[in-house]
Amino acid sequence: MPGPLDLGSSVLGFSWADAKNEDRERAWRASRETKLETIPNCEACAKPTPEEVQGWAQSFDKLMKSPAGRNVFREFLRTEYSEENMLFWLACEELKTECNKHTIDEKARMIYEDYISILSPKEVSLDSRVREVINRKMQEPSSHTFDDAQLQIYTLMHRDSYPRFLNSAIYKSLLQTVSHSSSES
């Protein structure tokens, strides 16, 4: 027999499960926001050529060296709920270009809070050895504080996400679109 809440929820068309799902979705959306405002939602880049898109299947390095490739791969990672790996990698690349000590300290702290801290909803998956190294280096951050972690995440994306990306509808559709448009030219 339904309890009073069950009866009320069915009469009102509302369930506690719906409320919990809405709360979870709201929290998930909030967790996707990053403190590093300098990382654009999408890198500025030219439309990739068919040869470039085909080259991404030959080499993960080619994909990651291409702004258009990173954008498409990032879109794919978002569908797998692992976009934070690309965001972390991009943040590390940006940190390496910094020379100003104060800016390096600030960006390193933000990277740590956004991606390394166990309290972060966007925490990247790192082994304990790399975490310990980062914790030591954070005492005196440099533009290379996260190099070991960045390599570990790059390797993870290469071995884990990249093969699925090559078989994804996102990549196959893009490949078909650029091949089709070039044959029309």
Assigned domain for 85 exists: yes
pLDDT of residue 46: 76
CATH number at 178 reads: 1.10.167.10
Full DSSP string of 18-56: HHHHHHHHHHHHHHH--S-TTS-SS---PPPPHHHHHHH
Assigned domain for 43 exists: no
Assigned domain for 126 exists: yes
Assigned domain for 74 exists: yes
Buried/exposed 106-145: b ≥16 CB within 10 Å, e otherwise? ebbebbbebbbeeebebebebeeebeebbeebbeebebeb
Q: Whole-model pTM?
A: 0.75
| DSSP state at residue 143 | T
Locate all alpha helices (DSSP H) within the chain, ordered by sequence. Answer: 4-12, 16-32, 50-58, 60-65, 67-79, 83-96, 101-111, 128-137, 147-156, 162-166, 169-184
Assigned domain for 29 exists: no
pLDDT of residue 41: 52
The number of domains in the chain is 1
Assigned domain for 116 exists: yes
pLDDT of residue 43: 61
Assigned domain for 61 exists: yes
pLDDT in tens, the chain (185 residues): 444 333 333 333 434 344 444 555 554 444 444 444 434 455 667 789 999 999 999 999 999 999 999 999 999 999 999 999 999 999 999 999 999 999 999 999 999 999 999 999 999 999 999 999 999 999 999 999 999 999 999 999 999 999 999 999 999 999 999 888 766 65
Domain that holds residue 161: 50-182
Assigned domain for 45 exists: no
